[in-house]
Structure 1
């Protein structure tokens, strides 16, 4: 394993950069290249990214879970090295949470357990909550399922600081998963970061590279492939997109002066926001996986951090994080 800073999650030491597996099963090119995906997963673990994020709905018929099972079948020595975090309780076909339906969640987890075999689900979390009124019932359901031995620990996803406080009175929260990046740093997100620090709870930062835009790969709307869901996201449309490109160009200037890639700058910024943040970038390319993981070792100076913050404060990120149909379930 490579040497990168670590943090305790679910009782194990894992790297301060994790690995998001979603695109390995939701991107058609990756889904058809199983060996490439397995190689990227091994590269992540070997680089020190030993805390992995998956979900029941990443790909059809538990495709991402099946990929993980194939990885452990091929590399059984990694079973104890990887902390596996899985989201569920969400109906992707109707964009709705099923967290209050304990029977649905139980069946879902049992199916995933059957696929994974003897690899435990270290932390399970509901992908979304129906509403703030669902906090107590949803987390009590998770406690019941945990006592049934279906997973080891309980986490929370896309949740507000106020709901986290209520949930923590029902059960210990082992991990939070929220979108955090230079494109996702609202006052509500900052409150969640503050809650995680106060209670010493690690927080997965998903989409830490702004869905690819913070790597500098997207400079015009035509760079987004036809049919790609990003074209539906407000941050990637019209004037908002053009404004956000200017933010990326500013970051490119800072990164170039430091001799690093823009994506590495974005990840380094994240890891210096809080000692409890674990970015979970995803990639199917082994070289990118390694560079993303090693970004934890890049340190930004006080002046560089101030320059980035000043630009964020004056320019700001334009557009909502998700299309309207998804917005209602964010930060509940």
Structure 2
């Protein structure tokens, strides 16, 4: 059975984390009190490793997610010491990695983050590596800020195993964040997961439910609301949508045999990859959050894992993780 906890930034955290993006970066953000109820449900179910960013908000409101967390901690201060906050930054309001005057930008980034949270952020990472800048230089800047006490630890986001190896020589990487799911399992992702296991580094597996696709959040491409991120993703469009549903059909069958929901199956599979994976499903629904958290107690049988791995070996997702105009968001 997978270890129920992993150490992150000096604290034991549950193996299921919580992604907060969709609380504020969505066409229709939920009311504040509903968000608070979801956040409490996450923490109360042991999902105390939280992922946020300086750009998780609609245009003109890019800091809304951090503002929300700060308000939550102010209203419920007992949660502040229980939760580990991992925050991505290093990008402008248009989510473009900053290349010039990086140290000053990152420093101001962290000061804003800490001010909004009402405390020092646990882990800071750049959301995407700035193109053309040596990795060693980026992480040398981050080390300076850690040494200044502006964050407790340094993380890495959307970085391949070779890139992680370079960065880790400059400053210890305490968590890695990449997309990992039953339909995002390319070789470069597999290598990064293996690197984390070999180095005993926790890994935030974002979009572990395929941005809702694996749990049939949408029945047709037309069900996706205008303004939703999924509207731009090739895997959710046209014929690709229906071809990719063939994977979900097989996952539904496997989940039924295992006696769990398809979402729980997907999360349990990620937990089985190594002892350091932390899926971070996001939801504003306390019941869904509780269901997701329960996956931490599910142990897949060897037969279950064999069936899933066989399914993945035969399935080639139709469409890329990102559209062509977002190629810069791919792992580096």
TM-score, normalised to structure 1, is: 0.94
Aligned to 2:157: 157
Is the CA contact 1:203–1:277 (under 8 Å) kept in the aligned structure 2?
A: yes
Aligned to 2:51: 53
The reply to whether residue 212 of structure 1 matches residue 212 of structure 2 is yes
Paired residue total: 326
- Return the offset for 1:72: 0.7
Aligned to 1:241: 241
Aligned to 2:26: 27
Is the CA contact 1:206–1:281 (under 8 Å) kept in the aligned structure 2?
A: yes
Aligned to 1:39: 37
Aligned to 1:111: 112
Q: Gaps spanning 5+ residues in structure 1: where?
A: none
Give the 3 Å change call, closer, same or farther, for CA 92–207 of structure 1 in structure 2.
farther
- Return the offset for 1:182: 0.7
Aligned to 1:128: 128
Q: Distance in 1 between matches of 2:313 and 2:121?
A: 40
Q: Which runs of 4+ in 1 moved over 4 A?
A: none
Is the CA contact 2:123–2:154 (under 8 Å) kept in the aligned structure 1?
A: yes
Q: Gaps spanning 5+ residues in structure 2: where?
A: none
The reply to whether residue 222 of structure 1 matches residue 222 of structure 2 is yes
Aligned to 2:187: 187
Is the CA contact 2:27–2:226 (under 8 Å) kept in the aligned structure 1?
A: no
Aligned to 2:14: 15
Per-residue Cα deviation, 1:227-246 (whole angstroms, up to 9, x for no partner): 32312101112232221100
Aligned to 2:257: 257
Q: Distance in 2 between matches of 1:308 and 1:99?
A: 41
- Return the offset for 1:92: 4.3
Is the CA contact 2:26–2:228 (under 8 Å) kept in the aligned structure 1?
A: no
Is the CA contact 1:224–1:231 (under 8 Å) kept in the aligned structure 2?
A: yes
Q: Distance in 2 between matches of 1:186 and 1:325?
A: 20
Give the 3 Å change call, closer, same or farther, for CA 225–213 of structure 1 in structure 2.
same
Is the CA contact 1:268–1:298 (under 8 Å) kept in the aligned structure 2?
A: yes
Q: Distance in 1 between matches of 2:249 and 2:316?
A: 13
Aligned to 1:82: 83
- Structure 2 SS opposite 1:256: helix
TM-score, normalised to structure 2, is: 0.94
